[in-house]
């Protein structure tokens, strides 16, 4: 498996900007949360608990998506955040009124950052439909329902495009790393092939010379040790102070 290369500087900057944007979007929830803090009773406590759970899930999904490149999540961790965000959005909107519709925007965003593209598109459309049904159930004016549907679908589509661009950049980096690895492997293979040919040529040459020596020895009818002794004796006879043919034994 090819390791994922490090982020480029531009991609890191883009991820940090998206993380900051995700935090700024939370400002849309200030008004409904402020109403809960001024209220009293069990409903306000339950509402605040739901908001806390909603924010925890959203921040986890958002920062995980734009903090790292590896998004190999299992099916449970892909679908659970969106399911929880959509359920909480529906509950607080039905319980506290139209001011809580912005929660559907964050539910749609949660789908875009945890699910594959084909599933995210369907979930954004489904979230828009659920928000419209909740608006109709609460007798919200059609203009408000249409504006909410347009906002949810637009924000979801925008985040989905950014996620797609970052995913494509990651795939390109992985492809470049794989091409570099294959280039190194091909170069090593070529070097090994050349080395194999060189060694084969050298061994063939050694075998040829050994065969030639064997043929020369057979023609001379003398063994290699005998040939060595003869060469050594001839060297002594031709040593310093001795002329060729001046064998002491012959002189006597």
The answer to whether the CB of 73 falls within 8 A of the CB of 59 is no
**Which H or E run includes 1?**
none
Please indicate, yes or no, if residue 100 is contained in any of the structural domains: yes
Please indicate, yes or no, if residue 123 is contained in any of the structural domains: yes
What is the number of alpha carbons within 13 Å of residue 243 lying toward its C-beta? 2
pLDDT tens digits along 124-183: 999 999 999 998 888 888 888 888 899 899 988 888 887 788 778 778 878 888 888 888
Please indicate, yes or no, if residue 204 is contained in any of the structural domains: no
Please indicate, yes or no, if residue 60 is contained in any of the structural domains: yes
**Which H or E run includes 68?**
none
Count Cβ atoms below 10 Å from residue 30 Cβ, excluding itself: 10
Residue by residue, pLDDT tens for the chain (252 residues) are: 445 445 566 666 766 776 677 677 777 777 777 777 776 677 778 888 888 888 888 888 777 766 554 456 667 777 888 888 899 889 888 888 777 888 898 888 888 877 888 888 889 999 999 999 998 888 888 888 888 899 899 988 888 887 788 778 778 878 888 888 888 888 888 888 888 788 877 887 787 777 777 777 676 655 555 555 555 556 555 555 544 444 444 444
- Rounded Cα–Cα distance for residues 38 and 31 (Å): 11
Count Cβ atoms below 10 Å from residue 142 Cβ, excluding itself: 10
The number of distinct structural domains making up the chain is: 1
Please indicate, yes or no, if residue 48 is contained in any of the structural domains: yes
Q: Which residues of 62-81 are buried (b: 16+ CB within 10 A; e: fewer)?
A: bbebbeebeeebeeeebbeb
Please indicate, yes or no, if residue 237 is contained in any of the structural domains: no
Please indicate, yes or no, if residue 114 is contained in any of the structural domains: yes
Nearest to 166 by CA among 11, 3, 4: 11
The 8-class DSSP code of residue 99 comes to G
Q: Which structural domain range is residue 156 located in? A: 9-163
Please indicate, yes or no, if residue 133 is contained in any of the structural domains: yes
pTM: 0.60
């Amino acid at each position: 498996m090819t390791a994922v290369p490090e982020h480029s500087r531009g991609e890191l900057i883009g991820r940090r900007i998206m993380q900051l944007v995700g935090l700024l979007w939370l400002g849309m929830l200030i008004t409904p949360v402020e109403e809960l803090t001024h209220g009293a009773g069990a409903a306000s406590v339950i509402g605040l608990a739901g908001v806390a759970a909603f924010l925890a899930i959203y921040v986890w999904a958002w920062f995980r998506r734009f903090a790292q490149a590896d998004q190999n999540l299992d099916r449970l961790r892909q679908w659970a955040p969106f399911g929880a965000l959509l359920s909480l959005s529906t509950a607080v909107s039905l319980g506290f009124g139209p001011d809580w519709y912005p929660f559907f925007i964050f539910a749609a965003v949660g789908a875009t950052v945890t699910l594959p593209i084909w599933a995210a598109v369907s979930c954004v459309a489904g979230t828009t439909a659920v928000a419209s049904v909740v608006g109709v159930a609460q007798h919200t004016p059609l203009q408000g329902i249409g504006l909410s549907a347009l906002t949810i679908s637009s924000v979801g589509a925008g985040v989905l495009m950014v996620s797609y661009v970052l995913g494509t950049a990651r795939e390109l980096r992985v492809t470049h790393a794989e091409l570099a690895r294959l280039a190194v492997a091909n170069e090593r293979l070529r070097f090994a092939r050349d080395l194999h040919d060189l060694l084969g040529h050298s061994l063939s040459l050694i075998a040829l010379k050994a065969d030639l020596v064997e043929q020369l020895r057979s023609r001379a009818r003398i063994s290699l040790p005998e040939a060595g002794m003869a060469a050594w004796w001839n060297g002594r006879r031709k040593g310093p102070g001795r002329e060729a043919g001046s064998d002491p034994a012959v002189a006597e």
